[in-house]
Amino acid sequence: MTGGQIRAAGRAEPEEAVLFSPLARSLAATTPFVGPEAIERETGVRFRARLGANESVFGPSPAVLEAVAEAAARSWAYGDPEQHDLKVALARHLGLAPANVTVGEGIDGLFGHLVHLATQPGDAVLTSFGAYPTFNYHVAGHGAALHTVPYRDDREDIDALLERARALKPKLLYFANPDNPTGSWHEAAAVERLVRETPAETILVLDEAYSDLAPASSLPPTSLLRPNLLRFRTFSKAYGMAGVRVGYAFGESEAVRQFDKVRNHFGVSRMAQAGAVAALADRAFLEDAIARIVAARDRLSAIARDAGLRPLSSATNFVAIDCGRDGAFAKAVLDGVIRRGVFIRKPAVPPLDRLIRVTVGREEELALFAEVLGETLRELG
Amino acid sequence: MTGGQIRAAGRAEPEEAVLFSPLARSLAATTPFVGPEAIERETGVRFRARLGANESVFGPSPAVLEAVAEAAARSWAYGDPEQHDLKVALARHLGLAPANVTVGEGIDGLFGHLVHLATQPGDAVLTSFGAYPTFNYHVAGHGAALHTVPYRDDREDIDALLERARALKPKLLYFANPDNPTGSWHEAAAVERLVRETPAETILVLDEAYSDLAPASSLPPTSLLRPNLLRFRTFSKAYGMAGVRVGYAFGESEAVRQFDKVRNHFGVSRMAQAGAVAALADRAFLEDAIARIVAARDRLSAIARDAGLRPLSSATNFVAIDCGRDGAFAKAVLDGVIRRGVFIRKPAVPPLDRLIRVTVGREEELALFAEVLGETLRELG
């Protein structure tokens, strides 16, 4: 055991030395979203339906699989670190220039870079209480100070966010439209007011992960660019490519260019780049997937109502279902559904914690959810 | 143009506001390694051989492609954020526990996280002058102060690194074994001395990207663990999976656990995780690839000698070739080879800048390199 010999070889015990930064030492090792695989390993439950991670069972497109297979065979070579072809395709898709687009390992990866670029330890960041945990994880990871305003009627509260932002002048203001975990949305005019009234010192982080599934009336035009606005979209939701890992941000080129100072240049794989290009080109597949998701969303809402629960209106690929009582009751519903083999999730903090969050699926998966939800509610009385 | 209207809608010009952190504003947007695709786009040259990025034309294994295709079809779902199966396979491969291993979007991605975890702005980091640029890029990206010691006889200078480390007590000490860009290596006993004598306050970043291609005598046992040692390996080199994006670090669990505080949990794609598991299982393919790489390395060295140049001994999948004169001459050689359609690279800083760096390839690619190298040298006289 060379390791043991070396360790015993005489100098101060290394455990006494201070390794890693004070910030790093203060952080908890954590996973913002525990995966269904981990739940299966821990509980022994074998999930029969995976309706908890807001993925799309309807994707990816066969054209994506073809492009990915072709790229896989050439994956002895690094992907293009400038992501040229994908940026050109995205720019065309958005009606912008390639310099207005940056691509990363999912929106999550881009959020990590953005917090890195925009904040110093102690800087203020503003979001809604109960909004996207992975954004908060990166804020904590960079030692910035997270401030929150409450949701109002299960929607992000633009007035309250702006009021707090005017006082706080945060470095970042996070806003998701449509929203996760509620599925709610604001109309474009309201979002444009948020853009307009966000303090000039604050970067508005407009998370549009679910934009493909939202009413057109809710989306400001892609031409809405400002120095302090970055908009984030992904191939993980409507395109059904969550496991491929590709998201992007767009905005004014000077803001977008900042990512080139800290990003992992080869981080978006050759397969991801080729797959995303193919996905953008297969408009028919996307439209069909969206239609299926919207139909499944209606069906899921009906299932909730039939069970005596209240589904929230959704502009996403999931439905937040109000269990009608407190967080403990909703947690019991969640646990019962999970124990019966259907993976779903729920918000953790009040008042959203009375909701469960169920991703759409195929008819057989939704029927299974209906069945186990019914059993669970009967059990809970 | 909604964007224009909104911008004109009356408040201080946003350009006046200070966005992004002082550190971010001080950094240059850059690509540590300009890709061959970018060179093709800029020069109009169409590369006939890609021998510049230390990839392996011999991979990936057919078993990897099969696993990737299977994972692609299931890529509507996020990959396991705990990377359980891959960590278990790596732990078995290394003779360690899964808690000793963390997986990331290539070693580059892990380096970004490590610098984030280990340094505060202004903290000292030590490396060799001319060593891996992407590590330096991340050091700059976090505002740490990079200190260097010169190479000595085209190898990293362990004595000089240790002497400087004792004085400087850097947060990180970067050391690659085998080394890039020289291809040189140290024997295990020397590396173990470096491990032993690295100050207890300093994390030794042991980059073993090329370890699969190195003599066994150069590698300390994987059981060599210390609180301040992290070792980095990859599927990008011998396994031929550069474009897939998967690298890993191993070390004492307490050091490895730190990555769980800042990493991008879904960053390693479902295909990458499945592909890497399959790659580890296909030992025969790896051994065959290594044999081919070693043979091609010998052939490449012979080509250099035949051209009147001096190939450095290499324990990697590339050969650094001493062009025998100054950096300007080596740059002219590089340019001539590139202009003739063979992508190679060269170190940027003296005294290594008199080298060109050529990755191994198939016989036809090496023959093409021999041909264009000869033409270039004749042209340069």
Contact (Cβ atoms closer than 8 angstroms) between residue B131 and residue B176: yes
**CA dist A260 to A108, A244, A266, Å?**
16, 22, 12
Q: Are strands A145-149 and A318-322 parallel, antiparallel or unpaired?
A: unpaired
As a dihedral over the C-alpha atoms of residue B111, residue B75, residue B277, residue B253, rounded to 10 degrees, the angle is 40
Q: Per-residue pLDDT tens for B333-358?
A: 999 999 999 999 999 999 999 999 99
Same domain, A93 and A49: no
Q: Is B341 on the interface with A (CB under 8 A)?
A: no
Domain boundary among A253, A281, A309: A281
Q: What would the mean pLDDT of B367-373 be, rounded to a whole number? A: 98
Indicate the number of domains in chain B. 2
pLDDT value at residue A381: 87
Q: Is B240 inside a domain boundary?
A: yes
- pLDDT-derived band at B1, boundaries 50, 70, 90: very low
**What residues 261-290 of chain B have any CB closer than 8 A to a CB of chain A?**
261-262, 264-272
Choosing among A57, A252, A261, A285, which should be mutated to test the B contact, i.e. which has the most B CBs within 10 A?
A: A261
pLDDT tens per residue across all 381 residues of chain A? 333 333 333 344 444 679 999 999 999 999 888 999 999 999 999 999 999 999 999 989 999 999 999 999 999 999 999 999 999 999 999 999 999 999 999 999 999 999 999 999 999 999 999 999 999 999 999 999 999 999 999 999 999 999 999 999 999 999 999 999 999 999 999 999 999 999 999 999 999 999 999 999 999 999 999 999 999 999 999 999 999 999 999 999 999 999 999 999 999 999 999 999 999 999 999 999 999 999 999 999 999 999 999 999 999 999 999 999 999 999 999 999 999 999 999 999 999 999 999 999 999 999 999 999 999 999 998
pLDDT value at residue B14: 45
Is A105 close to B106, i.e. CB distance below 8 A? no
Paired with A125 in beta bridges are A146, A172
Same domain, A225 and A314: no
Sort out which chain B residues have CB atoms less than 8 A from A244's CB and list them: 72, 75, 269-271
Q: Is B224 inside a domain boundary?
A: yes
Q: Are strands B229-234 and B203-207 parallel, antiparallel or unpaired?
A: parallel
Domain boundary among B282, B309, B326: B282
Same domain, B121 and B172: yes
Counting beta carbons within 10 angstroms of the beta carbon of residue B17, is it exposed (0 to 12), middle (13 to 18) or buried (19 or more)? middle
**For residue A20, is it left (φ>0), alpha (ψ between -120 and 50) or beta?**
left
Paired with A102 in beta bridges are A249
A258: domain range? Answer: 62-281
**Tokens 């992508």, residue located:** B343
**CA dist A140 to A29, A125, B47, B217, Å?**
11, 10, 45, 43
- pLDDT-derived band at B16, boundaries 50, 70, 90: low
Q: Per-residue pLDDT tens for B59-111?
A: 899 999 999 999 999 999 999 999 999 999 999 999 999 999 999 999 999 99
Is B241 close to A76, i.e. CB distance below 8 A? yes
Residue B223, both tokens = 């059981």
Q: Is A81 on the interface with B (CB under 8 A)?
A: yes
pLDDT value at residue A193: 98
Among B209, B153, B150, CA closest to B179: B209
Closest Cα of chain A to B325: distance in Å? 31
Q: Using CA atoms, how far apart are residues A104 and A85, in angstroms rounded to an integer?
A: 14
pLDDT value at residue B381: 87
Q: Is B231 inside a domain boundary?
A: yes
Same domain, B154 and B184: yes
CATH number at residue B114: 3.40.640.10
Same domain, B290 and B374: yes
In which element (H, E) is residue A161 found? Answer: helix A158-168
Q: Using CA atoms, how far apart are residues A233 and A254, in angstroms rounded to an integer?
A: 18
Sort out which chain B residues have CB atoms less than 8 A from A76's CB and list them: 55-60, 240-243
Q: Using CA atoms, how far apart are residues A81 and A87, in angstroms rounded to an integer?
A: 11
Q: Which residue of B has its CA nearest to A1?
A: B223
Task: Give, in degrees to the nearest 5, the angle at Cα A190 between A187 and A192.
Answer: 105
Q: B125 — phi, psi (to 5°)?
A: -135, 140
Nearest to B201 among A18, A28, A119 (CB): A18
Q: Is B1 inside a domain boundary?
A: no
**Tokens 């995966």, residue located:** A35
Contact (Cβ atoms closer than 8 angstroms) between residue A380 and residue A75: no
Q: Is B216 on the interface with A (CB under 8 A)?
A: no
pLDDT value at residue A6: 35
